[in-house]
Structure 1
Amino acid sequence: MRSPRFRFLAAAAAPLLLVVAACSPGTDGDDVAATSGDDAAVTSAGPAASLADVSVEKDGDTPTLTWDGQPFAEGDLPFVTYETQTEQVAAGDGDEVPETAEVEVRYLAVNGANGEQIVSTFENEETVTMDLNNESLFPAFLENLPGTQVGEALLMALPASEAFGPAGNPQFGVGPEDTMVFYLEIEEANEPLTQAEGEQVEPEDGLPTVEADGQSPAQIDVEGADAPEELVVQPLIEGERKEVQPGQLVRVHYTGVTLSDGEQFDTSYERGEPFEFQVGAGRVIPGWEEGLIGQTVGSRVLLVIPAAQAYGEAPEGADDAGSTATADPQAHPLEGEDLVFVVDILGAY
């Protein structure tokens, strides 16, 4: 039976996954011939409908869609479009969204084929970050969100060819010819972070000391630092953006050293780009999984991680370096080591 934990993670990631194409729509001749041309499309999916006939009604903060004054699912389905349509529902009064922004939105998505709701972030009062630098986002968002304003609300209808293409998306119940209808509210727009940004925090005594400029590996001094009995999470800079949640894709820059001697064993700066991982997918050590959840984007976080939450405690009989005469050749080189990381949280999606 599938783990309930992973069902939760899949649900947490669903709002973002729905607006990211699994692969680009087909571009070879056969695919284009099969999905282009109004006559062929009308025959297979039905006549085109107008987004101008769709309205948004709200019960408190919860939106529903109506079509020609009726609940969407009771309209003359399927609702079909063969090109992207957009309609402004409400004007915004905030900053203009730049082409390179990370845009915080709340949205409702409905399948035009059957009128069923696919995803709504309004129900959990959550937002989704759409990174307009991510070319995997649906083209409609990359093309239409820049130039809008924070506070704006809009409707968008996407033809199948501009969403998941001829494969559809069985995970969300989207067929190969299904139009997708979105209602979006733009909550915030920020330029992507390249380093931590926020309020400085005075660390507690007894921890490793850190010098960091956000552009090169952090200098971490472990002299006099206490060995951890449990995970230590110490913000050094407290960011002002949203909190990291289970299931999100997180982008970070980091530097790691061993607590025993302060030797650097890894840093993302030497690879020239941030590291990305999904929280809860098992790609990082447990100390990262636990330590970064709940921290805010923009934060710089000092993690002091006991060996048990890093690469495992040394086996019985090991010396201080974690080695034995019959060392396991499969053991991680950092087994038995307490580790220290400085992590800049640059994004969470």
Structure 2
Amino acid sequence: MRRLAGLIIVPALLLTAACGGDGGSDSTTPSKNGLPAISEGAKFGQKPTLEKGEGDPPKALKVDVLSQGDGKKVVKGDAIQVNYLGQSWDSDKPFDNSFDRKQPFDLTVGAGMVIKGWDQGLEGQKVGSRVELGIPPDLGYGAQGQGDIKPNATLVFVVDILKATQVPKSAAGTEVPQDDKALPVVGTNDDGKEPTVTIPKGDPPAKLVSNYVLESKGEVVKDSDTVVLNYAAYLWKGAKQFDSTYKTGRTTSFPLPQLTLKGLKSGIVGKKVGSRILVVIPPDLAFGDQEQQGIPKNSTLVFAVDILAKV
């Protein structure tokens, strides 16, 4: 089964080997727990400058709370938004940071969207905190490395936790009649399990369809939001499923400004958080005449989407 995220999101996320520059204040946060010190930009919200690690790197995860926030405690399954800077233990040059992009990074804690050191190190921290993580290779990228990150590298991150949102297990709300026999029918269960999707035998619609299946009373999604979704995705032809977050047991966070699948973005914007929707995407708003990872060209796509939260 193909995972769709790599096709429909602009890849500018964690660990993409973007170099950082100078910034922040002249204050210095000394090393704790043997982790590298911050020589500039020590305060929450400032871009930090990390010194090179000294001595042998840690063989187990180390977490240092540089400043304690007063927000909610992050638990597994929360959708969180962070700013971060990362570099290797034996380097004083960052390989990536979100401060320069001025675009925080969104993830769901414990969903396997990031390296294990992040999932383990951020769980239990409070919103508003700045933490430093020392991540050994087995909780990072291991023997294979990643981009400019060398194999068996120990990683160091400074992470500012900006927001945290609890994610429900399922959409909920008022059932909306699905009376159009020319359209797929989506199940209305609210137990967190994958809803059924029954696609009719006839020709697909020529225009975008975005209909409520369960309509909540949540906030309306804007095109600038980051949303947390569960979805099941099918080809209209043959009713073949090609992706499902339910199968992996992991929700996904999509920053809508980075969502390149036009029909999915258009189908979600304007709908209410907490709802389940049916989205049918014609080829011109999907992948057009280009085959994509086993998705045939000129395919009409069908999505059953739970809009679980926005960050």
Look up the equivalent residue of 2:231 and give its one-letter code: H
Structure 1 residue runs of 5 or longer lacking an equivalent are: 1-5, 19-47, 67-71, 259-263, 280-285, 314-331
| Aligned counterpart for 1:106 among listed residues 83, 97, 104 | 83
Please say if residues 238 and 300 of structure 1, whose CA atoms lie closer than 8 Å, have aligned partners that are also in contact.
no
TM-score, normalised on structure 2?
Answer: 0.58
Question: How large is the Cα RMSD of the aligned pairs?
Answer: 5.6
Distance 2:241 2:73 in 1: 36
Q: How far off its partner does 1:202 sit?
A: 9.2
SS in 2 for 1:117: coil
Partner of 1:344: 306
Partner of 1:325: none
| Aligned counterpart for 2:150 among listed residues 166, 171, 175 | 175
2:166 is the alignment partner of 1:166: no
Partner of 1:15: 14
2:64 is the alignment partner of 1:65: no
Distance 1:106 1:242 in 2: 23
Please say if residues 95 and 150 of structure 1, whose CA atoms lie closer than 8 Å, have aligned partners that are also in contact.
yes
Partner of 1:131: 109
Partner of 1:301: 277
Please say if residues 80 and 113 of structure 1, whose CA atoms lie closer than 8 Å, have aligned partners that are also in contact.
no
Partner of 2:68: 91
Q: How far off its partner does 1:61 sit?
A: 4.1
SS in 2 for 1:149: coil
TM-score, normalised on structure 1?
Answer: 0.53
Q: Residues 110-159 of structure 1: CA distance to partner in whole angstroms, max 9, x if unpaired?
A: 2232211211122322222043143x754433433222212211111223
Partner of 2:164: 189
SS in 2 for 1:51: coil
| Aligned counterpart for 1:50 among listed residues 21, 31, 34 | 34
Structure 2 residue runs of 5 or longer lacking an equivalent are: 1-5, 18-31, 255-260, 290-295
Using a 3 Å threshold, how does the CA distance of structure 1 residues 180 and 254 change in structure 2: closer, same or farther?
Answer: closer
Larger Rg: 1
Structure with the larger helix share: 1
Using a 3 Å threshold, how does the CA distance of structure 1 residues 310 and 164 change in structure 2: closer, same or farther?
Answer: closer
Q: How far off its partner does 1:201 sit?
A: 11
Q: Please show how residues 307-318 of structure 1 align to structure 2 within 5 Å.
A: none
Look up the equivalent residue of 1:180 and give its one-letter code: L
SS in 1 for 2:143: helix
Partner of 2:93: 116
Distance 1:189 1:241 in 2: 19
Please say if residues 137 and 155 of structure 2, whose CA atoms lie closer than 8 Å, have aligned partners that are also in contact.
yes
The number of residues matched between the two structures is 267
2:132 is the alignment partner of 1:155: yes
Distance 2:80 2:253 in 1: 19
Partner of 1:252: 230
Using a 3 Å threshold, how does the CA distance of structure 1 residues 256 and 133 change in structure 2: closer, same or farther?
Answer: closer
Distance 1:271 1:155 in 2: 30
Please say if residues 303 and 340 of structure 1, whose CA atoms lie closer than 8 Å, have aligned partners that are also in contact.
yes
The answer to which of 174-183 and 88-97 deviates more is 174-183
Using a 3 Å threshold, how does the CA distance of structure 1 residues 296 and 238 change in structure 2: closer, same or farther?
Answer: same
Q: Please show how residues 282-297 of structure 1 align to structure 2 within 5 Å.
A: 289=264, 291=266
Q: How far off its partner does 1:106 sit?
A: 2.1
SS in 1 for 2:72: coil
Q: How far off its partner does 1:211 sit?
A: 7.5
Q: How far off its partner does 1:109 sit?
A: 0.8
Using a 3 Å threshold, how does the CA distance of structure 1 residues 297 and 174 change in structure 2: closer, same or farther?
Answer: farther
Please say if residues 208 and 263 of structure 2, whose CA atoms lie closer than 8 Å, have aligned partners that are also in contact.
no
SS in 1 for 2:96: strand
Distance 2:160 2:285 in 1: 40
